[in-house]
Amino acid sequence: MYRVVYLDSVDSTQEEAKRLYRNRELVNGTIIWAKEQSLGKGRHGRKWYSPKGKGIWFTYAFKTSLRGKELNLLNLAAALGVVDALEDLGLKAFLKWPNDVILSDKKVCGVLLEALFEGDNLAFCLLGIGLNLKDIDEVPGSTSLERELGGSLSEDFVFKKLVDSVVNSIGLVEKEKEVVLSRYRNLCLTLGKEVSFKRNGTLLKGKAIELSSDGGLIVDVNGRIEVLYAELVEDVR
């Protein structure tokens, strides 16, 4: 189902996947797992701290028949896969649209989806996962599995559980899209909240009211409906 490329250290597992792709060495189902990333990244170029021994950092490269904005559904499905893995460990997790997994009102995991194209044709999806095993001092307001469980965990054990769950969840999107959306809605802390976002350089505020059929966030901005996809969305405190 997948093959694992293990690295002790890398700048970014996403960037390593891109290098393999450029060298025509990237195979469908490849997982690049690094003990640490020196230049890990989140959405919108944000730095993702990923020190050695503190978490599970990997990229899953795969092909899909989904196209266009429906690719957003893969991001949601991957986050659900993380939730399922954490549930197996006895933890109740929630989601912040589109890519954060939350435990005890704090972020424990992030999901990043990128697409590689050959001309107009989608070649690969690159799904990056970063899960905190231990507390990371550089990331205030975050949490970790060991903090929430009160004990240590094997990296190999968590990695396998996480990968199996995420890969399985992604596989459901093309056949059970409505199930994915329904489950995400039920766990999404963003819905019903006042949020802010930028569009065309203008800061807007509104209420997140629903998910679109392709995974976008529907926001009511003073009676005008906006559907968000790539925008950086923040809760209004």
pLDDT digits (tens, 9 = 90+) for 29-80: 999 999 998 866 666 566 767 789 899 999 999 999 998 889 999 999 999 9
Question: Model-level pTM?
Answer: 0.93
Gap between the Cα atoms of 121 and 57, Å rounded = 28
pLDDT for position 2: 80
Secondary structure class of 86 (helix, strand, coil): helix
pLDDT for position 120: 87
pLDDT for position 237: 46
Residues of the chain with pLDDT under 70: 1, 39-46, 48, 230-232, 234-237
- Kindly report the backbone phi and psi dihedral angles of residue 205, in degrees, each rounded to the nearest multiple of 5, phi listed first: -130, 145
Secondary structure class of 108 (helix, strand, coil): strand
Percent of the chain at pLDDT > 90 equals 78
